[in-house]
Structure 1
Amino acid sequence: MTSGPSSPPPASPRQAAPRQSTMAARFAAHVPAPDARRPTTARESEEWAADVRRDRRTLLRASAVIAGLYGLGASVQAAYIYAQYLPEWDAVPVMARITGNALAVVVLALGQLLLRVHRAPTLGAVAIRCLIASVACSLVRVASQTVTGVYQHWDASTLRAELISGFVAGVIASLVGVRAMVLVREIRVGARESARRAVDVEHAVHALQQEEVRVRRAVAEGLHSSLQQRLVVIVAGLDAFLRDAPGRTLTEHELEALRAVRDDIDVVREQDVREMSRLLYPDQLEIGVTPAVRQLLRRVPTSIAVRFVVSPGVRELDDPTAGWLSEPERLLAVRVVEEGLSNALRHANPTSLEVGLDRQGDQLVVRVQDDGAGLDPTVVHASGTARLTQRLELVGGRLELTSRPEGGARLEAWLPVASLRG
């Protein structure tokens, strides 16, 4: 029952967790669900009961089969040896020997059932219960051999040999039964994990589809409500001017109106069109996270002090020629910075902001903190922070929004980098 890129950029090495290869670790990893947690719903209760029945059935069947085969083989072998070499023992019928061993097998199975070996929470508890059942099996085997006349007069050596052989047979059968039970648990856990991953993938695809729809809707609404209305006003102004313009010299007022139209077009180009473009794809993202974040920080009002800190590990990780960070990973990191800046500027009224990019093992850490008034949790929950949290969880990351002791808030995200995971 025993058990992408060639090399990452230099950074703090991730400590590899020791492999759980011992029997105890494997058993602990597959303790039945009811012993690890209490069912809280009717469905969980049914699943729990089914797991217990399956474990019990597997343990008893495997142990009984091994012990039964041992008993049958030992009975036939003893009958043959005695018939060939000890004629005085030939009078003992084979069925008497088989009956005694069969009773021992039944006692072993009953002992495992009554001691609830299949429900034992640790390997130590399993071992103790199996030893008790094996002792009972050995004692009943000797007693049944006396009752059925296999041995009428015991001598010390024969009694000791029969007790030890019965005990060893019980232990071996129990080990095989426990091993089979653990294998069934591993298969069950693996099947459920595969099913859970399939559901997670389905949810991830659904979330991405929803996010795409949300972005497309935001762009469509922006183009329709803001850009279109501005262009309608500009076109109306030009039409009015063109109706009066032919055949005369432009006045200073009309020239000023044309300049106003030009300014409106410039505003549309600089604000509306650029904003829609940034919503779809942040500036400089194809170059890396660091340039894209710098572009974001240029939009912060100059009255707010901004500090941008990038660790050496991130500079090497963010090298666009190395390909460590995928485009979706870069985009998600920039979205975290966008969300942090948006929350701070809308709700906190800060005087300073700090954005940091760091690396911890195989994760990119993105941090945005301010010295403002903090954030109302109810407001944050209803904002894009909740959506961003879900997106990070789908890729194995996490997002935390906390208050700073010195005032303000900190938005911190841990984003796994797929190329660094072995």
Structure 2
Amino acid sequence: MHATSPLPLLKRVPPGAWITLVWCTSMLLTLLARVRLPGEWQPDQLPAVQLYRWDGLLIHALSTVMVLVGAWLLERRPLAALTWLILAPICETATLGAGGLPMAQYLTPIVALYFIASARPRRTAGAALAMGIGTLVVYIATRLLCGWPAGISAEVAVALVTVIAWLLGTSTRHAREHAERMSAQTAAQAVTAERLRIAREMHDTVAHSIGIIALQAGAAARVATTQPEAAREAMRAVETTGRETLAGLRRMLVALRAADAGQGDDTAAAAQPAGLDDVDRLAAATTAAGVRVEVQRVGEPRQLPPDIDLSAFRIIQESVTNVVRHSGTHACRVTVDYGEEELALEVTDDGRGRSTSTDTGFGLAGMRERVALLHGQFSAAPRPEGGFRVAARLPVPAGAR
């Protein structure tokens, strides 16, 4: 199994721990603001009478218990947790003599609102925002109806910070959902690409060999009574081609299993794919089956990247297979041009110049896909003078030139 990288340190801390940390920090800031620090003539905010009395300390403890309960419920029952986290600053504000819910005390519900908006569905996040803003409105309205002073300006700032925290959480959720969709889409595309690659390899490996086998078997059937030795030779060719096909399929399966199991280079080396060095063997086998293949090389042959080498061979193999199956001719020409910046392939014949009703079109589609993956150019069409022409141009990377 593949090892997964551990989460960043900050992401390992659960939301409830962050809530508790924010509450302790806000309590510390509240007490520091009501103590004359060095360099100050008086505290930044005057303390209320009950702040340090037994009833004030009891309210501090009760508020802290509410925060702990809300932090414990946050990941299981977010709206219930937010209720406790809103009641805690309301209770704590009773000991401060403030005209509204101070920003320091309301930071705990604000942070909780961010976590809810980032992790919960849209409906839950909307209900949490309504609870957060509605509490501020009800709190100020109650003080105004009772004739008590109300810090409306400070509450507007608290409400803005609350909305901003909710928007940040919503943006985080949308980004995560988008990343999950893109990951799923990428995985689906990778699976589709792998299926197409396997289908191309299976088609290219089997189609040519089956065509040769069909030709040899037909020839053996025609001369079985009149030329027994020729019939036996054709059947030996059928056996040889069948064994080569099975070996090719076995190499492909070994490579696929090795890639799936994550094995090393030894297994991959044992399943070495075909390349342009096998064109002569392909031409000899096809010629022996009754369709003469003339191979012409232009330029100096050189080592090519494995993907280009394999694709070039498969294009030639599929083109020759189409000549055997559909052209109705007894000869074709293969040209391999080793250019400085590209590899040019051309397969031509003098046959019918069109596909038959038995042609499914998978071969041409597979060749076109191979060339497109290598950012090359592909064409396949009847020739004006008769016959059919398949041409492909595959760019060669600068490091392989």
Q: How high is the TM-score relative to the length of structure 1?
A: 0.42
Higher relative CO (CA 8 A, sep ≥ 6), structure 1 or 2?
1
TM-score between both structures, scaled by the size of structure 2: 0.44
